[in-house]
Amino acid sequence: MRITVVGTGYVGLVSGVCYAKLGHDVMCVDKDPGKIRILNEGGVPIYEPGLRELIAEVRQAGSLSFGTDLPNAVRRSELIILAVGTPPLPNGEANLAYIDHAALEVAEAMNDRKIIAVKSTVPVGTNERLAGLMRSRSAVAFDSISLPEFLREGSAIHDTLHPDRIIIGADSEEAANKMLELHEPLTDRIIVTDIRSAEMIKYASNAFLATKISFINEIANICEKVGADVSQVAEGMGCDRRIGPSFLQAGIGYGGSCFPKDTNALIQIAGHVNYEFKLLRSVVEVNQDQRFSVIRKLNAIFGGELEGLNVAVWGLAFKPNTDDVRDTPALEIIGRLLDAGAKVRAYDPVALDNFRTLLGREGVTWCGDAMEAAQGTDALCLLTDWPEFAGVDLSRLQAAMARPVLIDGRNVFQEKELLGTGFVYYSVGRPSLNKGVKQPMPALQF
Ligand SMILES: NC(=O)c1ccc[n+]([C@@H]2O[C@H](COP(=O)([O-])OP(=O)(O)OC[C@H]3O[C@@H](n4cnc5c(N)ncnc54)[C@H](O)[C@@H]3O)[C@@H](O)[C@H]2O)c1
Ligand SMILES: O=c1ccn([C@@H]2O[C@H](COP(=O)(O)OP(=O)(O)O[C@H]3O[C@H](CO)[C@@H](O)[C@H](O)[C@H]3O)[C@@H](O)[C@H]2O)c(=O)[nH]1
């Protein structure tokens, strides 16, 4: 099939490359010439494990190209996939300006019947509205498909080539059948729905996963007070097949380009039909508060006085295996530390440059490795569960720090590793591991 993918962000790039891998003739277009130049020079504008190699492999076969010429790409394709961003507006609603613009550009370029599939996450009713918009610009017939995307950053290729399910929202049987044929090599779990239900499946899935995370984080907070261990609780809960083990990892809450934006957008979608989504509002509120559990623990240890404290931060990306820093908890946590007068030494294996640009303020020493960041610090906050942190030599770390205070925001370390060390160690929802000071540490001398 000849396919054009509009937008070369995570979704557009990964899905375009994967369709090419399946033997289709794919053109990925982006309005950003800088991204296209990087791709045409053999680079990749995002960090995603395995993506560079897969692009090189499918480009050798000649079935994948990159460009900025959207009209030409549209004219040669039977299927146009819209995968542009739908970032949040200040009020939490999805900003649909990019997808509206892209749809109009596609409409103006259409020369014969096309299938227009929307992979971007869009509020219920958007596909219908876009179709109306396109019809106002073009007399050429087309079929609308809602094709929500469920890949996760960091495992995007695996998720795309081995999806749990494919959802096809369609109002034309012929177009639905073509989409079924396209995705059959990937899975036999393909569900065809009406367009509005497909749009809702995407938001409901993300909102439910976010709910699981906020739920386990609240359980963790209670565990800290009643002396239970949230890791054991999550394991015990997860064995029940009705609950399932995934997304029960307590920590400093969810971040990223999807959960924060999509939970807020769904609250707005509900609000527009006079429905107050109380549960989801609480999920968002719990998540916001959970980020600051790190600061609360530092305050408890240092008697509420963070001014002048040297704090190491390990991990800036919102999750491991990505350089994406959109809505990463590290942003607000480091912001709070700087506001309180602390000095920060930060390290992340791949997200450091993106984070430095995002933060845009002074007061942080950017470090080239984890031990360099820890050097001479009074406390270390682990914010992203990169695998390299779990393998660190704890005695070397203790020797590098001025005071061995470790706040493990992702429960990376195990009890047995900490036993017998001098660390004051606080994790999330595991009070038996929160050993060390009962009283605040003595005030710092400068
Ligand atoms: N990032 C994820 O993990 C993920 C997963 C599932 C779904 N989604 C959804 O998919 C959509 C895309 O997300 P993303 O993270 O890939 O986006 P992104 O912001 O990383 O990339 C979007 C790209 O679209 C390009 N673009 C915008 N308007 C264009 C136009 N008119 N013509 C050509 N290119 C244009 C931009 O230049 C940019 O490169 C969003 O709706 C998001 O919610 C994202
Ligand atoms: O048990 C868990 C699982 C995740 N997280 C956090 O949740 C956030 C999101 O993680 P994850 O879902 O793995 O990453 P994303 O790439 O944001 O993927 C989500 O968002 C995408 C965009 O909509 C969807 O396509 C995916 O299905 C959905 O998992 C991260 O900050 C994680 O640290 C936890 O705190 N505890």
pLDDT digits (tens, 9 = 90+) for 80-89: 999 999 999 9
Per-residue pLDDT tens digits for 328-381: 999 999 999 999 999 999 999 999 999 999 999 999 999 999 999 999 999 999
Alpha carbons 28 and 8: distance in angstroms, whole number:
7
Per-residue pLDDT tens digits for 386-406: 999 999 999 999 999 999 999
Cα 259 to middle of ligand 2, angstroms: 7
Q: 211 labelled as ligand-binding?
A: no
The residue-averaged pLDDT of 218-230 equals 95
The residue-averaged pLDDT of 195-217 equals 98
- Which pLDDT score, from 0 to 100, does residue 443 have? 40
Tell me the average pLDDT of the chain. 95
258 carries an active-site annotation: yes
Cβ of 322 below 6 Å from ligand 1: no
Cα 329 to middle of ligand 2, angstroms: 13
DSSP-derived pairing of the beta strands 114-118 and 364-366? unpaired
Q: Of 172, 171, 170, 190, whose CA–CA distance to 180 is shortest?
A: 190
Ligand 1 atom at shortest distance from the alpha carbon of 122: 41
199 backbone dihedrals φ, ψ, rounded to 5°: -60, -40
Q: For residue 437, name the pLDDT band (cuts at 50, 70, 90).
A: very low
Question: 18, 28, 258, 367: which one is catalytic?
Answer: 258
3-state SS of the chain: helix, strand, coil percent to 5?
Answer: 45, 15, 40
Angle at the Cα of 382 (from 379 to 387), degrees rounded to 5?
Answer: 140
Least confident of 167-181, 212-226, 272-286, 432-446: 432-446
Domains of the chain: 2-197 (3.40.50.720), 206-288 (1.10.1040.10), 292-433 (3.40.50.720)
**Encoded tokens for 173:** 């049987």
Alpha carbons 186 and 280: distance in angstroms, whole number:
32
Contact present, 67 and 73 (Cβ < 8 Å): yes
Ligand 2 atom at shortest distance from the alpha carbon of 252: 35
- Which pLDDT score, from 0 to 100, does residue 435 have? 56
CB atoms within 10 A of CB 429: 27
Whether the pLDDT of residue 439 is over 50: the answer is no
Least confident of 91-100, 104-113, 436-445: 436-445
Q: What percent of the chain has pLDDT over 70?
A: 97
Alpha carbons 30 and 24: distance in angstroms, whole number:
19
**Encoded tokens for 359:** 């933060």
User: What is the reported pTM?
Assistant: 0.95
Cα 6 to middle of ligand 1, angstroms: 9
The residue-averaged pLDDT of 133-147 equals 97
- Which pLDDT score, from 0 to 100, does residue 367 have? 98
**Residues with Cβ within 8 Å of residue 347, at least 6 apart in sequence:** 312, 313, 314, 315, 316, 366, 367, 368, 369, 370, 372, 373
Per-residue pLDDT tens digits for 19-44: 999 999 999 999 999 999 999 999 99
Closest residue by CA, ligand 1 atom 1 = 10
Least confident of 14-18, 65-69, 416-420: 416-420
The DSSP code sequence of 83-128 is ----PBPTTS-B--HHHHHHHHHHHHH--S-EEEEE-S---TTHHH
The residue-averaged pLDDT of 140-159 equals 97
- Give me the torsion for CA of 363, 368, 374, 378, rounded to 10°: -10
CA of 118, nearest ligand number: 1
- Which pLDDT score, from 0 to 100, does residue 433 have? 61
- Which pLDDT score, from 0 to 100, does residue 303 have? 93
Ligand 1 atom at shortest distance from the alpha carbon of 29: 33
Grouping H, G, I as helix, E, B as strand and the rest as coil, residue 192 is strand
Distance of CA 101 to the CA centre of its chain: 25
Whether the pLDDT of residue 225 is over 80: the answer is yes
